[in-house]
Structure 1
Amino acid sequence: MGILEGLVAPLLLLNLLISSVYGRFVVEKSSISVISPEDLRSKHDSAIGNFGIPDYGGSMIGSVFYPENGSTGCHSFDDNNPFKSNSSHPRILLLDRGECYFALKVWNGEQAKFAAVLVADNIDEPLITMDSPKENIDLEGYIEKIRIPSALVDQSFGESLKKALQKGEEVVIKLDWTESMPHPDERVEYELWTNSNDECGIRCDEQMNFIKNFKGNAQILEKGGYTQFIPHYITWYCPEAFILSKQCKSQCINYGRYCAPDPEQDFGEGYEGKDVVVENLRQLCVHRVANESNRSWVWWDFVTDFHIRCSMNEKKYSKECAEEVVKSLDLPIEKIKKCMGDPEADLENQVLKTEQELQVGRGSRGDVTILPTLVINNVQYRGKLERVSVLKAICAGFKETTDPSICLNGGLETNECLERNGGCWLDSRSNISACKDTFRGRVCECPVVNGVQYRGDGYTSCEGTPFPESALTGCHCPRGFHGDGHKCEDINECKEHLACQCDGCTCRNTWGGYDCKCKRDHLYIMEQDTCIGKAAHFSENTSKFGWFLTFLVLAGVVGAGIAGYIFYKYRFRSYMDSEIMAIMSQYMPLDNEHNEVQPLRQGSSKQE
């Protein structure tokens, strides 16, 4: 490298640093309405915290409490905490920003039995996203245990709540996430920005746990046409001046156009970044080729099988191993190879070029700069990356009353029809009801029974002919009934052992049919009469692990350029390797611990 290139390098680094810091990060919001006292009635935005479980599609009415002592919530509250109340509402804790991490405040609130936590900003600024600190800060492992929702509110709103509470007034608010997830139609489109590398420690393990645990739900949704899923992979590029460097050659394909960090963060051993890029490309092509034959859900099988059979972490990865997984899933390997192209060619790869373009945020979605990132209906998901939480967020993306049955299983089911029939019309003789559970709650709609549409308001009346003439022709009863065709009675499939015979199933008879449920939050699949899924809630901590290769290459070059050609000749290689490792461990996009950087990031903050 010449001295001129050494002088240009710092300018390239500065330019890329500025563009990354000022990346378009969108703050995802929920709304808060003050119900009482009356003089405070108003509606405000709040920024959804990036940990815990936001109640996408739902809402919560609760009484607000503000501690007289320890208002920052940085220390655990005693068992005899000063939050006792006769209120019948859930309790919502209001805390001040400052002194410790946001996640620790929320954890202490959850330990004190609060249903949600609000953090009031201490400066007048636009809302920012409360993010998680790195796991090495979380020595007690509390981040992954957080289950309650949280949000940041602006300074003026927080002050108005505190003043009312200090006057002894009961403050009741409604936290509302019903519009936090767009739900325009009957299909949800979502994407997961992920990575084939499984050697990055706990974060990779959590990501793979989510993929394995969510696979069954994802495939049911995809096969039923309810969702459209697309996987994405982040890559970076090597500046042209450094394409021939050892680092770029080992971390990039197609002459520095597409790069990934070294899996072990050690350039001297193990796999290289280009191995990760090639596998990312293969997994993209698996999805594309499978989608052409209407088998897009096979991507979930490939990724989980690849993790078991070809893990980089277990030193089992090779091109041959990955291709064996392709063959085992009956995918056309030649089509996948054609899709991948030649990684050694000095040409653009159209698949990876498209991925780099999609990283840039458009419309309501911000830039994708961290891994993993889940985007649902063009909105970035906030909260814990775990099966039930993500399924709940996806279900919130369906237009009202169009959510599929998978959204009414286990913990997602509203069950409002079980109590007083949800206030809807009911024919007690035939047990025909107008009450229908949906993800957002019950609706009263006159039902369709055996092809007959009952009509009425759904609340006080529904009228229809239970058995149309066509059902009696030839003296046959409709399906689910038995008799001579003139007099038909409901078949109790549960009592006669005609349904729900799988292990763990429970059966409930309905008029003309039956309803099968599984234990815990397992999902019942009627076609196979089986339960799938796992009840355990794995802790998918969404702590961020983006790795910027550009900095990884340029950081060493900045120092090398100052010293000039002689310094580069004798010291560049060892210096670059050590500097790259230091930067990779210290700089994470949107996951930075240095307070002086936060004002530039416009949207994310972890430490007070």
Structure 2
Amino acid sequence: MSLSKKVAVLAMILALTIVVVNGVSARFFVEKRSLTVLNSWKMGGKHDAAIANFGLPSYGGFVIGSVVYAGQDAYGCDSFNEAFNRKSPYPKILLIDRGVCDFALKIWNGQKSGAAAVLLADNIVESLIAMDSSPQDEDPDFIDKINIPSALILHSLGDNLKKTLKRGEEVILKIDWSESIPNPDERVEYELWANTNDACGLHCDKQIDFIKTFKGTAQILEKGGYTLFRPHYIAWFCPKDLLLSKQCKTQCINQGRYCAPDPKQESEDGYNGRDVVYENLRQLCVHRVAKEKNNSWIWWDYVTDFNIRCSMKEKKYSKECAETVVGSLGLSLEKIERCIGDPDADVENEVLKAEQAFQLGQENRGVVTMFPSLIINNAQYRGKLERTAVLKAICSGFKERTEPSICLNTEIETNECLEANGGCWQEKISNITACKDTYRGRVCECPVVNGVQYKGDGYTSCKPYGPARCSMNDGGCWSETRKGLTFSACLNLETSGCRCPLGFRGDGLKCEDIDECKEKSACQCDDCKCKNIWGGYECKCSNSSLYMKEEDTCIEKISGTRSRWLFTVVVLIAIASISLGAYTFYKYHLQSYMDSEIQSILSQYIPLDSHNINQGDK
């Protein structure tokens, strides 16, 4: 293939990728007749608006406010220096012209100015499109701070609003999205168009975060029969003329019938589109197999666990890792493999063929153009993929007064841990588990027990960590007791790890006794006899010698006769010493007593000098 043809092939593949993922050419969903001017017949009755794909739309509700124009050349690209003078008691609906900078930045600056909602007036005459953020330029934290509704309006409506305001007239506008989500009955049907690629930037990160946080809510709704959920994955086919190209081979399965873009648009580096479409198919089959068992909500657990355990960013995105997750959730790997089929076969895949049909639109629904996309009761959801906002939109899809209690109470638990421990790690002896029920659904996190922190992935392993870890099942290390004697591979002086004690060998999880006698590592002195015991050894010397363990040697014992004579001599010497000491003490004490008595008698007859002196003084 010539270089020019290769370039043309790559350009075509990339063009297909851009159309599918970013929605360059497709029809958008517009909220018909959702804007009403309440105080002016001249402005007409109701007008269309295209809700932004960020912020928090007022699904199931409405906003009434006074329109304030930011002014010509005030595009909202910078913070407004002064608050808008608003004499009306109504909330402020800020009108900003389109152009110069990104949609999200305009809405953010409008929100900071105190606006309750923002309308962007189109700067050209065209059909309405949905405003989306620019992930390559924007900080995701900045976009997440937008919590007001916003929409794009037609150029003609924007001009009429500006002219009316210029004449000094007040415009009271109602933004009504209470019927944006159809609500025909007591059950809501919704679907999520996703992708298993977790390395595509902001959109992938938001999708993963949403699935994690919405999982518990989704499972409660589905278990109660309130909703019917179905996952979808974007896929397209490779043109027949390009089937032999390197791009189609690396991005497609089943001979070019089903394709996905390379995570980094580099077919020669890292994961490719074929890996992505294969995992997309697996997740569709997980949902199908789980649905056959009447527990289709397991899909949320699988996707959440797969994103944690098999991350593409951590280079764990593989078939083997996926199968481990399938096994931990108790799903039939054989049925899932049958559903997936042979990705190299030149045949249609029933599951992916249906996905392509859904993607192209059905009945009154247009082509799926945004990724990720949420569709509720056949209407495309707009706004932030955030738990509370999405739940509110779903709740607005129930027939009036048939909403389940979860629509009124968001602080709930799922009780998933009651069944098979939620697929998380569990120490059955002490009944310690990593499964925790939260309003987000069950999470597998290593626990803290009696002040001891467990560490691990929460799915297959958790081990105690820290100085007190040995008090908890010997820190997960080897331990054994025989005949009242216990040895353990857990050392309290160490905060982690296991090490076999002296006399044993192994990895600390399993330790075996060392036969010091057989290995000749002890009791090597002449005339020594070695006997191995559990955790050590015994050494005895022949010829009644004594064994000295520190020196590994035998010394001769002192004979019995010699010992008796030595004992007698020692006793006699001790008696003689005691007698001599007693005699010396007696003699000294007697002499002192006699001297004292003689001096007392003489003092009665012979006056002492000191005595006379004392008498004279008196």
**Counterparts of 1:109 and 1:214 in 2: how far apart (Å)?**
29
1:188 partner letter: V
CA contact (8 A) 1:71 1:96 kept: yes
Aligned pairs (5 A) from 1:233-244: 233-244=233-244
Q: Which residues in structure 2 correspond to 1:297-376 (within 5 Å)? A: 297-376=297-376
Q: RMSD over aligned Cα, in angstroms?
A: 3.1
The Cα offsets for residues 525-549 of structure 1, whole Å up to 9 and x where unpaired, read as 69999983369xxxxxxxxxxxxxx
Distance (whole Å) between structure 2 residues aligned to residue 45 and residue 181 of structure 1: 15
Residues 364 and 379 in structure 1, CA contact (< 8 A), matched pair in contact too: no
- Counterparts of 2:72 and 2:181, CA distance in 1: 36
Distance 1:409 1:70, change over 3 A: farther
**Which residue number in structure 2 is paired with residue 532 of structure 1?**
438
Aligned length: 421
Please, which runs of 5 or more residues in structure 2 have no aligned partner? 419-435, 442-618
1:42 aligns with 2:45: yes
Number of the residue aligned with 1:293: 293
Once the 2 structures are TM-superposed, how far is the Cα of residue 7 of structure 1 from its aligned partner?
12
Q: Which has the larger radius of gyration?
A: 2
For 1:122 and 1:321, locate their aligned partners in 2 and report how far apart those are by CA, in whole Å. Answer: 50
How much identity, in percent, do the aligned residues show? 59
CA–CA distance in structure 1, aligned partners of residues 172 and 364 of structure 2: 31
8 Å contact kept, 2:30–2:48: no
Distance 1:330 1:10 in 2: 42
Higher mean C-alpha displacement, 197-206 vs 400-409? 197-206
CA-CA distance at 1:10 after TM superposition: 11
2:409 and 2:392 map into 1 onto residues whose CA distance is 10
Residue identity in the other structure for 2:337: K
Partner of 2:131: 130
238-247 or 297-306, which deviates more:
238-247
Q: Is 1:55 aligned to residue 58 of structure 2? A: yes
- Aligned twin of 2:496: none
SS in 2 for 1:31: strand
TM-aligned CA deviation for residue 323 of structure 1:
1.1
Cα deviation code 1:376-422 (max 9, x no counterpart)? 11111111111111111111111111111111125xxxxxxxxxxxx
2:92 corresponding residue in structure 1 = 91
Cα distance in 1 for partners of 2:26, 2:399 equals 31
Deviation at 1:3, TM superposition (A): 11
CA distance in 1, matches of 2:387, 2:304: 15
Equivalent-residue separation in structure 2 for 1:6 and 1:229 (angstroms): 42
Between 112-121 and 139-148, report the one with greater CA deviation.
139-148
8 Å Cα contact 1:188/1:377 also seen in 2: yes
2:171 & 2:101 partners in 1: Cα distance? Answer: 26
Following the alignment from structure 2 to structure 1, what is the Cα–Cα distance between the partners of residues 129 and 245?
Answer: 39
Instruction: Pick 1 or 2: higher relative contact order, CA cutoff 8 A, min separation 6.
Output: 1
Q: CA deviation at 1:75?
A: 2.2
Calculate the TM-score normalised by the size of structure 2: 0.63
Question: Which residue number in structure 2 is paired with residue 508 of structure 1?
Answer: none
Report the Cα offset of residue 300 of structure 1.
0.1
Contact conserved, 1:243 with 1:249, CA < 8 A, in 2? yes
Deviations 1:320-347 (A, max 9, x none): 2211111111111111111111112111
C-alpha distance in 1 between matches for 2:388 and 2:118: 21
8 Å CA contact 1:35–1:41 kept in 2: the answer is no
Give the AA of the match of 1:154. L
Which one is further off, 29-38 or 399-408? 29-38
What SS class does the counterpart of residue 282 from structure 1 fall into? helix
1:401/1:9 Cα in 2 relative to 1: closer, same or farther (>3 Å)?
same
Provide the secondary structure at the position in 2 that maps to 1:186: coil
Contact preservation (8 Å) 1:77, 1:112: yes
1:48, distance to aligned residue in structure 2 (A): 1.3
Distance in 1 (alpha carbons) for counterparts of 2:217 and 2:326: 22
Quote the Cα distance in structure 2 between the aligned partners of 1:126 and 1:366: 15
What amino acid does structure 1 have at the position aligned with 2:236? W
2:76 match: secondary structure:
coil
Distance 2:4 2:163 in 1: 62
- The Cα offsets for residues 90-131 of structure 1, whole Å up to 9 and x where unpaired, read as 111112223322222211110101100112223333323222
How do 1:497-516 and structure 2 match up within 5 A? none
TM-score, with length taken from structure 1: 0.64
1:202 match? 202
What is the CA deviation profile of residues 537-589 of structure 1, one whole-angstrom value per residue up to 9, with x for unaligned ones?
Answer: xxxxxxxxxxxxxxxxxxxxxxxxxxxxxxxxxxxxxxxxxxxxxxxxxxxxx
The one-letter code of the counterpart of 2:108 is W
The aligned amino acid for 2:103 is F
Matched, 1:173 2:173: yes
Tell me the residue number matched to 2:262.
Answer: 262
Distance 1:360 1:392, change over 3 A: same
| Residues 110 and 531 (structure 1), Cα distance of their counterparts in 2 relative to 1, 3 Å cut | farther
SS in 2 for 1:84: coil
Alpha-carbon distance change, 277 to 156 in structure 1, aligned in 2, over 3 angstroms: closer
